[in-house]
């Protein structure tokens, strides 16, 4: 009696001397005595080894076809109520102290699907600017323009950003009001997960104190003179055009 391993979903196959072929899962096999196989849930058959010509393990084409069907024919998950969660990563671009600069962001969003096309919740995370790191806490509202597999979406967020770390050039870095608007698309899948790609505009108010070093100069006598630095204080608004990718459930 031989058992040959096949790739993919497999099943046990018993070939009898009378020409019958039994397919299922072998539950017990006693050499020289009997073999027990389950062909359906609750349907168990036992054969004497004298009746058996060969035992093999072969590819289960029915199970393989069923798996393929589930992968391609499973309906798209259209969540219309309940809690939602989303993790996001973003990249912003805007004018900084030393010209055009970029910044990254990480976010977590949680809220409730009020209607199939309306979601409200909270968002937080980390925004990394050259002046320091901000943790925003914002209320958000999302509107799906249609309720389909690929959905245009609009989002508004308002709140306050807390400065949790200052950059190397700053003496003081505090946060302030923050807001953003975005447009994009929600991509629903055949699983519980969905993707969201958006782009928009974000503004973050801050208060900063930093030392400003005027450029040095060489005097007529060839001596390098470096003026004393001055302390610069005041508010500064980071304005960023951004793109964001999120995965939610």
Condensed to tens digits (0 to 9), the pLDDT of residues 92-108 reads 999 877 778 889 999 99
SS3 34: strand
Backbone CA torsion sign across 108, 114, 118, 120: negative
Same domain, 95 and 189: yes
182, part of any domain: yes
Same domain, 169 and 103: yes
CATH of the domain at 164: 2.40.160.20
2, part of any domain: no
Check if the beta carbon of residue 73 is closer than 8 Å to that of residue 67: no
Same domain, 35 and 127: no
On the 0-12 / 13-18 / 19+ scale of CB atoms within 10 A, 157 is: buried
181, part of any domain: yes
Distance, CA of 244 to CA of 122 (rounded, Å):
17
Check if the beta carbon of residue 57 is closer than 8 Å to that of residue 13: yes
**Which pLDDT score, from 0 to 100, does residue 216 have?**
64
Residue with tokens 């391609």: 72
Residue with tokens 């204080």: 233
- State both tokens at 95: 């004018």
CATH of the domain at 45: 2.30.30.100
User: What would the pLDDT profile of 45-61 be if each residue is shown by its tens digit?
Assistant: 999 999 999 999 888 88
Of 38, 56, 73, the position where a domain reaches its end is 73
175, part of any domain: yes
How many domains would you assign to the chain?
2
User: What would the pLDDT profile of 122-158 be if each residue is shown by its tens digit?
Assistant: 999 999 998 899 999 999 999 999 999 999 999 999 9
The answer to whether the pTM exceeds 0.85 is: no
DSSP 213: -
210, part of any domain: yes
């Amino acid at each position: 009696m031989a058992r040959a391993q096949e790739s993919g979903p497999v099943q046990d196959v018993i070939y009898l001397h009378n020409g019958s072929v039994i397919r299922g899962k072998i539950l017990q096999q006693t050499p020289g005595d009997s073999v027990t196989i389950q062909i359906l849930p609750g349907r168990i058959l036992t054969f004497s080894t004298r009746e058996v010509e060969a035992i093999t393990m072969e590819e289960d084409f029915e199970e393989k076809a069923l798996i393929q069907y589930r992968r391609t024919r499973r309906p798209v998950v259209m969540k219309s109520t309940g809690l939602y969660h989303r993790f996001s990563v973003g990249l912003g671009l805007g004018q900084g102290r030393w010209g055009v600069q970029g910044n990254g962001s990480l976010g977590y969003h949680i809220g409730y699907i009020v209607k199939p096309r309306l979601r409200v919740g909270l968002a937080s995370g980390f925004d990394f600017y050259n002046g320091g790191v901000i943790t925003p806490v914002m209320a958000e509202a999302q509107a799906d323009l249609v309720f389909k597999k690929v959905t245009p979406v609009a989002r508004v967020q308002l709140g306050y950003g807390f400065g949790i770390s200052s950059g190397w050039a700053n003496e003081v870095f505090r946060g302030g009001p923050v807001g953003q608007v975005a447009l994009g698309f929600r991509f629903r899948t055949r699983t519980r997960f969905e993707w969201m790609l958006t782009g928009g505009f974000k503004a973050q108010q801050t208060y900063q104190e930093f030392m400003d070093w005027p450029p040095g100069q060489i005097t007529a006598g060839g001596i390098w003179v470096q003026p004393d630095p001055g302390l610069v204080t005041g508010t500064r608004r980071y304005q960023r055009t951004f793109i964001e990718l999120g995965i939610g459930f």
